[in-house]
Amino acid sequence: MEISEDKHVSVTNEFNNFTDALKKFGKLVETTVIQKKEERLGLYVKNEDTIDYEKFYESVLELFGPEIKSQDVKSFYRKLSNNPDAPVDWCEIFGYFLSEEDALASQLDEENLVFLVSRKQRIGLTGGWKRDVVKCLVKIPQLDFLIIATQKGSITVLNSQMRAQANINVTDTSWITGCDYLPQLKRIVAVTERTIIIWDYKAQGSSQDNCFVIKPMDHCLLCVCVVPMTDHLCRDDILMGDDGGFVNRFTLNSDDFGLKQSKNKKKMQSQILDSKNFKNIKRKLHNDWVMKIKYIQPLNCFGSCSLDSIHSFVLESLKRLEDNMPVREFSMPRGANTFVYCIKANVIVTGGDDKILRLWHPNISTKPVGKLVGHMFSITELVTNEKDQHVISLSSAKVFRVWDIQTLSLLQVFHDSQGGPGDMQIYAVIFDYNHGMLVTGSSVIDMYPLTRMIQDTKQIPHSHDQDINVMVYNRTFHQLLTICSESIIKVWELETGHQIYQIFDPHGSSIEVTTAAIDKSGFVLATGAYNGTLKLWDFGSGQEMKVLVERKDWKEGDHWLHQLTFLLTNEKNHFLILALEYNGRIKLVQGKEEDPLLAVIWELPEVVPIFIQGKKVISLTVSSKPKAMNIPIPEVELEPNEDEPNYNPGISTEVTCFDVLIMEGYNMIAAATVNGIIILWNFVPCTVTELHRPEDALILDPDLDPKRLKVNAMLFLFRSSDCVRKISEESITSSARSDSTHGLQSNKGSKSSIYEAETKGEHSGGTKGETIAGQKNDTAILPSTLLTEHPPPVLVTAHEDGHLRIWSMQGKLLKDMLPFTKHSAISLTTLHTDVCARVLLAGNMEGHVILWNIGSFLNPPYDEKKFKQLIAWRGHALKIVNVIYVEDKQVVLTSSVDGSVRIWHARNGHYCGYFGQRRTFELNEVTDFILPCDVSEHPVEVKEESKYTEKKQKYEYPLVFDRDKWRKMSSFSLLFRQPIPKPFDVNQEFKFFKSLSSPKIRRNILESTMTGNREAGVIFGSLPIYRVPSPTSLRFLPLIGADAHKESSENFQGKKKGGRILHSQSRRRSLRKSLAPGVNLTSAFFPVIQK
């Protein structure tokens, strides 16, 4: 009995505790909802009591214990943030939902939808009319502006920032029913019920003076569209539909609007033109109102829809308007209100009062190829998103539905719930491709952005919760591996950006993984940790294979692994890893098939202290008792006669980075130290060479940064025989293709390789490779890599001072450059090159990515002009850890200490996304130019100037005679002996011109007055008038050849003023008149200024 009573008491206590926890949880939710509502209204001020996700998660854990799952808490908090008014229940915090609809709604959160309705933007009308509505919206992608026409006659042009550029209020009693842009005439056309309005929106002056009205029309015009005509430069054709079922083709020429107004008589009304003077072809195609008309350029046809049930939709060429031949007609019950054409899918979608979307093939008018059902009211508007293959439909109840045109599936449903009863109708809808948003027009203008645009531009890219230490690319499986400082390994799919698997604490709890490497086969992964342990993993499954255990005599942090590299072996399941520790020691780790543990075979001897003593080359000997046989790098030792080095222990000699080259007869290791010393291990002759040592490498100055000379990364640049053969084949193929397509225009915007320009440049040699008969020699079509010997390897280093340096194997500096990033010198942190060493990438401390084309540079004699920087862009706001170039996809991968891994297009630096985002990457398509939310700098492309274009030199005008320069250039006595030169003698030494310099006057901006007289015309009346002050040093100019110049100047002034003018005062004559050529250029540099 006592036991049962105790159980009853414990159950009662648990129930009471849980009830109290639910009450506290309700108060927490209530406080969070109030905060979110105030944040939406902009009334909330952040303080210490602000509840963010972390504080909310900690409070829930205190109430219900650690059994709560983080994903359930995250979905609950997201529901409160997205919709504070949504009903919530406490069971949702435990992952239980009241119905399947709630569970589906929690999974289909707002971030997975096509349009982010919560980020809708709204702007009012600028015309000043009350109770006016937008009747037509037209987007001009080429000019990136939006035309808005309201019902009561206001036409406005908005720029890309949605600011008004031009506006006109048409003084017409009729309402505007449609508008469009005339590309040839550069004007805007609008139609009312009885007139056609042509407006020159770019002309200055009153808008009414730049507006032409064409009337009268036979029927009430309901819609208008422009027919693109590239063969007529001064002509535009428009198509109009009216209430009589007619389709009109109206021709507009520039001569029709060439009338100029009188300068004295100013018209306050629009200029009226007679419609009978214009060419108008019309044909009756419908028995009811023509609701919409469009010209479909890919089909070279126009389409018009009507409320007629028999002639609902017509698709025909323009020639059918001139005859009475049958046309293609599509019939549907109750007609069609709107239609749209999808280019990629090659279907026409129609919608009308029967609430059904029908998909038609352009050549099949008898039966639709598909139907989309779901709307409960009449369909009024249809637009398409060609890039994503979406069709957006709108009903009269302001309900939007987004459909996938390929799968015929419904993706999203949303409606405009704001507005009163008078704001229910939406008259115009367009999709803005440039900015990725849906624009609607009613009494206001609403803009619904695509979710991916908000994710890319507003959300902070987030791949890991902590700083990223390692990023490695697996070429075999096209997968990416990243490791953060929290010791979490994540493997991502490159094509989609989705995570495949992750490993927590691979080296044990609280042990940070600092480096990793993948072997050439792609099946084995090696990771190194802070405590010196090294592990091998099966990359496909993530299973541990072998381990290098930590020894007991190791001190903490003494064997911190900094860099790993796999070495190729001939034996199967035999692994060799070259490891660099933070203390500067390089060791070789071996893993055999029969051994479960990894073992250290040998360590490279320390040679930097010997170099400090002054020795440049150190000889090595192969160990007589090696621990392993048949390994690529032999176990070497210092020769016995080498003395123990004596040097200042305060000088840092730790190795910071290394690279290995074991290929085609080369067996080398290059390493660099923290004080900038570069050494080369060559295992063929068994020597170690000091390639470079900075001048102040051994200077200890407490005022200087000890890491100022540090080399952060280094790479061997070498092309194997396979790469040379591959480049040669590509060069010959590219040459043949360029010859076959000679004279044809290239496809602008086509996806090509970033080093394609290098291949083309090798064959653009003019007539050098042509013989007398006009045929090319065999050597003319061969690339330079075949005409020269096999190029030797070179070494590239990235330095702390921001410089990039290229070295030969003999230690000669081939190139020293500072990358161009619009900033001062920034420390370079990482380097990367492709397999064939044609592209070089670097990342720096402030998040910039720099890309060079080095394909032609690697061929001796190493021309510096062939080392070309193509582009630089800012990929992160913080330090870049690794940068990788993927050749087959032509993308660049970057990782940073900000915890994100991002992907970019290599050609233009366009942002594609980040690993861990919800939507899939679109690597094969040209993306819109967007920037992450933490980056505001645009990419900087370095374009090479053509050798055929004249380089423009910049001079500062005016120039004056500098006496100091003259004294330094010539001796007074020598010039005195020279004979007096004759006027206009061209045989001069031109010392006078060399003595010209910029005037020592104030460099202020010229003051401008108001615009000139309007009666002078449009051009000259708009030119500003400047007042140029006379230079103070003008009186010091020597008068050379005064006789000739006096006569010429007097003749000039006499002609100008109508007679000969004699000077009352004669000019002073002195010996200075013979100190320069006999031409005084004062009048040329300083024209006469009338007071």
Which residues touch 5 (CB under 8 Å, ≥6 apart)?
A: none
Under DSSP, is residue 253 helix (H, G, I), strand (E, B) or coil? strand
Q: Which helix (H) or strand (E) element contains residue 349? A: strand 347-351
Q: Among 820, 829, 850, 854, which Cα is nearest to 839's? A: 854
The pLDDT score that the predictor gives to residue 953 is 46
Number of CB atoms found within 10 A of residue 184's CB: 18
Give the C-alpha separation, 881 to 843, whole Å. 8
Distance CA 1078, CA 1080 (A): 7
Query: In the prediction, which pLDDT does 699 show?
Result: 78
| Spatial CA neighbour of 563 closest among 468, 655, 676 | 655
The whole-angstrom separation of Cα 487 and Cα 505 is 5
Report the residue count for the chain. 1091
User: For each successive 10 residues of the chain (1091 residues), what is the average pLDDT?
Assistant: 58 75 86 80 74 81 78 73 74 61 43 77 68 89 89 89 86 85 91 90 72 88 90 87 93 75 45 88 93 94 94 93 92 94 93 94 92 92 91 93 90 76 76 89 89 66 90 92 93 89 90 93 92 91 89 80 90 88 90 88 86 84 78 84 61 87 91 92 91 84 81 93 82 65 42 54 41 36 46 92 93 91 89 92 94 88 87 92 93 94 90 84 70 86 56 54 72 48 51 70 45 52 58 46 43 41 41 42 49 41
C-alpha 355/C-alpha 366 separation (Å) is 20
> What are the DSSP calls for 139-152, one per residue?
EETTTTEEEEEETT
Q: In what order do the strands lie in the sheet with 678-682?
A: 636-638, 617-622, 687-692, 678-682, 666-673, 655-663
Beta-carbon neighbour count of residue 410 at 10 Å?
13
What is the rounded CA–CA span in Å between residue 282 and residue 302?
Answer: 13
Tell which phi-psi region holds residue 909, choosing left (phi > 0), alpha (psi between -120 and 50) or beta: left
Q: Which amino acid is at 1046?
A: K
The first and second tokens of residue 830, run together, are 């990482």
Q: How many CA atoms lie within 13 A of 1037 on its CB side?
A: 26
Residue carrying structure tokens 């720099």? 850
Residues 6+ apart with CB under 8 A from 70: 57
For residue 470, the cross-strand partners are 483
Name the packing angle between helices 2-41 and 53-64 (round to 10°). Answer: 170
Beta-carbon neighbour count of residue 953 at 10 Å?
A: 5
- pLDDT digits over 577-607, tens only? 999 998 889 999 999 888 889 999 888 888 8
Cα separation, 901 vs 894, in Å, equals 6
Question: What pLDDT is recorded for position 944?
Answer: 63
- CA triplet 857, 863, 864: central angle to 5 degrees? 90
Q: Pick from 607, 613, 720: which is nearest to 670 by CA? A: 607
Extract the tokens encoding 772: 């007398």
Token couple for 9: 């008491």
pLDDT at residue 99 in the model: 43
The predicted structure's pLDDT at residue 419: 56
